[in-house]
Amino acid sequence: MIEKALRLAPPEANYWLSRHVAKRHPGYGVVEGTAFIFDPFDYAAAGKCTISPRDDEHLHLATVWDGTSAGDHPANGTFTVQWEGIELTLYWMTPSENAGPYFALVAPQRADALRFFETVSRWGQEPSGAILVFHAGQWLKDEGLFESIRDATLDNLVMPPGQKDEIGGDAPRFFASRERYARYAIPWKRGVLFVGPPGNGKTHAIKAIVNKSEVPCVYVRSFDLPGHPFPGAGIAMVFARARKIAPCIVVLEDLDALVRDDNRAYLLNELDGFERNDGMLVLATTNHPERIDAAIIDRPSRFDRKYAFGLPGEAERGRYVEQWNAGLDPELRLDDDEIANVAAMTDGFSYAYLKELFVSSLMRWVGDEETRFGALLAGQVDMLRDQLAADPEPEPDAQPTPDMFGWAMAGMPGSYSTVMRAMMRKNR
Residue 414 lies in a domain: no
Residue 406 lies in a domain: no
Residue 426 lies in a domain: no
Name every residue whose Cβ is closer than 8 Å to that of residue 278 and which is 6 or more positions away in sequence: 187, 188, 189, 243, 246, 247
Measured in degrees and rounded to the nearest 5, phi and psi for residue 22 equal: -65, -35
Residue 137 lies in a domain: no
Q: Is 395 left (phi over 0), alpha (psi -120 to 50) or beta?
A: beta
Same domain, 182 and 303: yes
Same domain, 319 and 382: yes
Domain that holds residue 199: 150-308
Residue 72 lies in a domain: yes
Same domain, 157 and 295: yes
For position 160, which CATH number holds?
3.40.50.300
- Rounded CA-CA distance 288/264 in Å is 16
Same domain, 294 and 158: yes
Domain boundary among 276, 308, 340: 308
Which pLDDT belongs to residue 318? 94
Residue 182 lies in a domain: yes
Which pLDDT belongs to residue 297? 81
364 vs 46, 338, 370, 376, 377, CA distance in Å? 45, 18, 11, 8, 9
Same domain, 331 and 295: no
Same domain, 162 and 304: yes
Domain boundary among 308, 335, 354: 308
Which pLDDT belongs to residue 408? 28
Which pLDDT belongs to residue 391? 65
Same domain, 126 and 20: yes
- Rounded CA-CA distance 59/77 in Å is 5
- Per-residue pLDDT of the chain (428 residues), as tens digits, is 899 989 888 889 999 999 999 999 999 999 999 887 799 998 998 899 999 999 888 999 988 776 567 888 899 999 999 999 999 999 999 987 666 789 999 999 999 999 999 999 888 777 667 788 888 787 877 777 788 888 888 888 888 778 889 999 999 999 999 999 999 999 999 999 999 999 999 999 999 999 999 899 999 999 988 778 888 999 999 999 999 889 999 999 999 999 999 999 999 999 988 888 999 999 999 999 888 888 888 877 789 899 999 999 999 999 999 999 998 888 899 999 999 999 999 999 999 999 999 999 998 888 777 788 888 888 889 888 888 777 655 444 444 444 444 332 233 333 333 333 333 344 34
Which pLDDT belongs to residue 397? 43
Same domain, 162 and 251: yes
Cis preceding linkage at 247, omega within 30: yes
Which pLDDT belongs to residue 226? 76
Residue 112 lies in a domain: yes
Which pLDDT belongs to residue 67? 59
Q: What total number of domains does the chain contain?
A: 3
The partner residues of 74 in beta bridges, in order of sequence, read 61
The partner residues of 53 in beta bridges, in order of sequence, read 79
Specify the pairing of strand 131-135 against strand 138-142. antiparallel
- Rounded CA-CA distance 109/40 in Å is 19
Same domain, 271 and 340: no
Domain boundary among 308, 324, 357: 308
Same domain, 282 and 336: no
Contact yes or no for 195/308 (Cβ under 8 A): yes
Which pLDDT belongs to residue 365? 87
Contact yes or no for 306/195 (Cβ under 8 A): yes
SS (H, E, C) the chain: CHHHHCCCCHHHHHHHHHHHHHHHCCCCEEEEEECCCCCHHHHHHCCCCEEEECCCCCCEEEEEECCCCEEEEEEEEEEEEEECCEEEEEEEECCCCCCCCEEEEEECCHHHHHHHHHHHHHHHCCCCCCEEEEECCEEEEEHHHHHHCCCCCCCCCCCCCCHHHHHHHHHHHHHCCHHHHHHCCCCCEEEEEEECCCCCCHHHHHHHHHHHCCCCEEEECCCCCCCCCCCCHHHHHHHHHHHHHCCEEEEECCHHHHCCCCCHHHHHHHHHCCCCCCCEEEEEEECCHHHCCHHHHCCCCCCCEEEECCCCCHHHHHHHHHHHHHCCCHHHCCCHHHHHHHHHHCCCCCHHHHHHHHHHHHHHHHCCCCCCHHHHHHHHHHHHHHHHHHCCCCCCCCCCCCCCCCCCCCCCCHHHHHHHHHHHHHHC
Same domain, 161 and 101: no
Question: How many C-beta atoms lie closer than 10 Å to residue 41's C-beta?
Answer: 24
Residue 355 lies in a domain: yes
Which pLDDT belongs to residue 411? 32
Which pLDDT belongs to residue 400? 41
Same domain, 278 and 331: no
Name every residue whose Cβ is closer than 8 Å to that of residue 22 and which is 6 or more positions away in sequence: 30
- Rounded CA-CA distance 262/231 in Å is 6
